[in-house]
Structure 1
């Protein structure tokens, strides 16, 4: 269900909107070509071949060991997979994964 809700586009379209995006699929390590179908992860802006990220997400459902539950995150940066149907607004004013990471990395330097 997660993979069906991830944004589907072509690499050319994604590159036009986000010129900084990598030209390499981090799952298969192959080059991304302009006409390739890719899924764009809205939470972290990484893109992967559609088939590669679909296999990545499906792997979590095929194996039920505790160490395999990381496949509901981006294979590159481990941010949670946020689908286009989900809101980025967090319930109960919880900080986003990015805020959590910044606080972890920089700690008290960020707090007033």
Structure 2
């Protein structure tokens, strides 16, 4: 999360005066509503709902969903993914031992 916070800025969405500009999250495809919390990526300036982008990046996708520019170093994403696999395997192992 610290790396995500460093590479993006959060904001509260406010409707713009130009009605022809419809802003939406490219991950969930929903329009931003007044007061929604979003994240703007520092390097490419693409904007998403905060929770959508966090889920995207935490599921071992270290790139922007639109332009694929690197947001989180691949080393961090790979390490996080390995930790998730180990955690899941430990849970499966515990369940198997409990069922024996």
1:11-31: CA deviation from partner (whole Å, max 9, x where unpaired): 229x69xxxx86110110111
Question: Superposition pairs for residues 15-94 of structure 1, below 5 Å?
Answer: 23-60=23-60, 71-81=61-71
1:20-58: CA deviation from partner (whole Å, max 9, x where unpaired): x86110110111123110011011111100000000011
Distance in 1 (CA, whole Å) between partners of 2:53 and 2:22 is 15
Q: Unaligned 5+ residue runs, structure 1? A: 61-70, 83-112
- Equivalenced residue count is 67
Root-mean-square deviation over aligned CA pairs: 2.4
1:74-102: CA deviation from partner (whole Å, max 9, x where unpaired): 001111227xxxxxxxxxxxxxxxxxxxx
